[in-house]
Amino acid sequence: MFIPPMIINIGFIWIGGLIVKSGLKNLHFYNKIRNLATSKIKSLAAGEVEIKGTVTPNQKDPLLSPIKKAKCVSYNLKAYRWVRKRKSSGWELMYEKTISRPFYLSDDTGYILINPEGAKIRNDTYSTIQGNQLLPEVAGELNRIQDSAKMPDFLKKLTNFSISMGRYKFDEIFIPEGESIHVMGYTVENPNSPNNPNVQRLMIAKKDKNDFIITDEKEDDLQKVYLMNAITLFIIGLFLVFFGLIQVFNIVDWINFMGGFQ
């Protein structure tokens, strides 16, 4: 299929613009982390905050990571299947699930409830395993999906047989109990506080479309990551934009040049 060069070059400009936009977002995160001071929990006020403390799970709703079986407050599990193709082979994502539970963060002045729902989690605590069988959690979830699908029984059996035969890799990233983390988010009203005087009035959670970050990285290291991401994305994006513009103007000049001989 022939694609006109002008369309291809406009595509370069469009993709470059998207990459530059992503760089601006990383620069925004960098400036926010650099300018937002870390507060003590006892002195928290309403609005955007940054705090550092130790993770304490809500014992009423315990959570275990699927692979390591570690006590945690949030985990992301990914399952990959090794796929062989004509020209290449590799791991293909077949399943992903994130589960989070509200938890407490404490420092030397007090503690506060954190609702991690919707947070951007950057964490280096992870586990990886490979094998020829699915994890029970993944197998159970896939079976539930197939049972709810409207397909003949023989197709379900064929699909189950296909899934059971293979090579798999499982990755999990989780926030373990007792870990020291940074949280950057907003203090909001705890919905349970009006009905229970023993519950704190404020909690930290995602507010609208505002940034909400939970990480175990040091603040300086996190700033470097976002700054380097921003610089890299700017370079790549601007290169694509300028390359596309140069090619577009070359095509326009060539068209005008040819028009002069008509």
Q: What are the two backbone dihedrals, phi and then psi, of residue 152, each rounded to the nearest 5 degrees? A: -60, 155
Over 70: is that where the pLDDT of 142 sits?
Answer: no
Question: For residue 89, is it within any domain?
Answer: yes
Tell me: pLDDT of 17 over 90: yes
Over residues 143-201, the pLDDT tens digits come to: 665 555 454 454 444 444 445 556 888 888 888 898 999 898 888 888 776 666 666 77
Return d(Cα 221, Cα 227) in angstroms, integer: 10
What backbone torsions phi and psi does residue 48 show, to the nearest 5 degrees?
A: -80, 135
In a domain, 201, yes or no: yes
Q: How far apart are CA 51 and CA 106, in angstroms?
A: 9
User: Does 250 have pLDDT greater than 80?
Assistant: no
Is 47 domain-assigned?
Answer: yes
Q: 225 in a domain, yes or no?
A: no
The whole-number pLDDT of residue 63 equals: 86
Instruction: Give the range of the structural domain holding residue 115, as residue numbers without chain letter.
Output: 39-132+167-217
Q: Taking the alpha carbons of 172, 187, 57, 53 in that order, is the dihedral positive or negative? A: positive
Asked if the model's pLDDT at residue 52 lies above 50, the reply is yes
**Between 142 and 87, whose confidence is greater?**
87
Q: What is the pLDDT of residue 207?
A: 84
At 21, is the pLDDT very low, low, confident or very high (cuts 50, 70, 90)?
Answer: very high
The answer to the question of residue 4 being in a domain is no
Whole-angstrom distance, CA of residue 206 vs CA of residue 185: 6
Is residue 237 in some structural domain? no
Domain count, the chain: 1
Question: Does residue 61 lie within any of the structural domains?
Answer: yes
Does 63 fall in a domain? Answer: yes
> For residue 67, what pLDDT band results from cuts at 50, 70 and 90?
confident
User: Which residues does residue 97 pair with via DSSP β-bridges, in sequence order?
Assistant: 77
In the predicted model, what is the mean pLDDT of residues 23-28?
92
Q: Residue 24: which H helix or E strand, with range?
A: helix 5-35
Percent of the chain clearing pLDDT 90 (strictly above): 15
The predicted model scores a pTM of 0.71
